[in-house]
Chains A and B, each alone.
Chain A
């Protein structure tokens, strides 16, 4: 079972309270999006779940076990890509596999498959400086997916993609998730994206960071993004989330982010 349970998690940096007694339960193989304005603590929450940040008080349980540090069955896709500049696309995508000691031949196959999936065939031998931001972001995504983790945390993973690539990636992500179900926390700025992808959307507010709503998305799976977007329920959900986010000082984009 891959459940995530945040129990009155509080996180402060010096005197700045970033997360305020936050509670969140995520079921095994549930896809949960986190929506909220910049600075509300989304990244901090993911980092805490990933064991890279220690909660000031409260605790995070993964499958009932308290998080004490990074673990091999969890991957975090960082907001800022973090590719190793001295490694090729291929080597970056295979980095997690290599650290886990996956046999070379098997690793190569999985790497190639993920490179194809994110649409970077032909770029295997390129170095990160030779790629656009959007391509780098996809390498980071492929690197995380290559190790097929039980827990997949993604921090605005499509933020640098153009609208069209973004939709392709959304579809790929859904099909991966359907083929090999995993527990997903997905941070995004896009209301549409959150609705199309998720079982639940958690809406946060800032100062201090807290959850203000937790919305179940009723659409059946497998989903078709086109059908969902034309469904009246979609408009309703969208309207509701807009209402929640509007109070914040920083506006949130309803559609895609600026392109690559």
Chain B
């Protein structure tokens, strides 16, 4: 498998590395000093200001624009409150969340296993590689209608769609990472009479971890897309369906509520993944 698309994003691992002699003393600014901005320049303040920037611009735009279809952030916030109070948002989120989590697991575990097998065994790689690459290159959205005809409109169909979106990036990234693990270390484990699964646990998975995390990051993004796509075409529940229903009635504020929620979910998942990665990569020298 060739996939420059999934090379791991170099992560700044654990900031606390006791033995990195090249690192500058703590607190020494690498970039230009921000002090000229005074208290405005402190990082948390800038962070909050940055976060407010887009909503404020959006709000101003919706004020000066008379178009009823252009809603502002406050309208969306109010709709968010209403839909939460009525329980509608929760029901939809629960339905989508189930599909998301199940689909992620159902796609990631086989993806991990296939990725390791393909990365580990060259002959298998030779056989499977064209299929995986072809499938990765195919816009999977295109086969969603076909899948639905085959699997029906139920939850299973949605889970399969999400799992499919998740499987390929995880498998391809993992295989790339496993191929990068030094053969020497595999042999070391073998020389201590390690069994195959021990080699996976002790050598292949930790060694491929940066790539696996990159695969998961791609997979989370694609899973969120897959949930919405699946719900657009199959269901009468879930966040995707909520978007459809309200936007068809030109209730833009309500229609945007699930979008905002999906955004928050994506953000939280990415953040959690980053935390996990940071914990797991203390062994790497900080660049």
* A52 interfacial by beta-carbon distance below 8 Å: yes
Bound CA–CA A85/B207 (angstroms) = 8
B283 touches A71 (CB 8 A): no
Chain A: interface secondary structure? loop
A78 touches B198 (CB 8 A): no
Least CB distance from B10 to A in Å reads 15
B193 touches A99 (CB 8 A): yes
B185 touches A82 (CB 8 A): yes
Instruction: Collect the chain B residues with CB atoms within 8 Å of residue A82's CB.
Output: 184-185, 187-188
Q: Which of A120-137 contact B (CB under 8 A)?
A: 126-130
A127 touches B188 (CB 8 A): no
Knowing A78-B188, A99-B193, A99-B198, the reply to whether A84 touches B285 (Cβ < 8 A) is no
A-B contact count (CB 8 A): 54
Least CB distance from A94 to B in Å reads 11
Knowing A78-B184, A82-B184, A84-B203, the reply to whether A99 touches B194 (Cβ < 8 A) is yes
Bound CA–CA A96/B192 (angstroms) = 6
Bound CA–CA A70/B188 (angstroms) = 10
Instruction: Collect the chain B residues with CB atoms within 8 Å of residue A75's CB.
Output: 191-192
One digit per residue, 1 when the CB lies within 8 angstroms of any chain B CB and 0 when it does not, for chain A 127-158 equals: 11110000000000000000100000000000
Bound CA–CA A70/B192 (angstroms) = 7
Q: Which of B252-287 contact A (CB under 8 A)?
A: 282-285
- The closest CB in chain A to the CB of B20 belongs to A130
Bound CA–CA A147/B191 (angstroms) = 13
* A76 interfacial by beta-carbon distance below 8 Å: yes
A129 touches B192 (CB 8 A): no
Instruction: Collect the chain A residues with CB atoms within 8 Å of residue B190's CB.
Output: 52, 70
- The closest CB in chain B to the CB of A153 belongs to B191
Instruction: Collect the chain A residues with CB atoms within 8 Å of residue B193's CB.
Output: 70-72, 99-100
A52 touches B184 (CB 8 A): no
A85 touches B184 (CB 8 A): no
- The closest CB in chain B to the CB of A147 belongs to B192
Instruction: Collect the chain A residues with CB atoms within 8 Å of residue B184's CB.
Output: 78, 80, 82
Q: Sort A-B residue pairs by CB-CB distance and give the 6 closest, nearest first.
A: A130-B19, A82-B188, A86-B206, A86-B283, A127-B283, A129-B285
CB<8 Å pairs between A and B, sample of 30: A50-B191, A52-B190, A52-B191, A70-B191, A70-B192, A70-B193, A71-B193, A76-B191, A78-B184, A82-B184, A82-B185, A82-B188, A84-B206, A85-B283, A85-B284, A95-B192, A95-B202, A96-B192, A99-B189, A99-B192, A99-B194, A99-B198, A100-B192, A127-B283, A128-B283, A129-B285, A130-B17, A130-B18, A130-B19, A147-B192
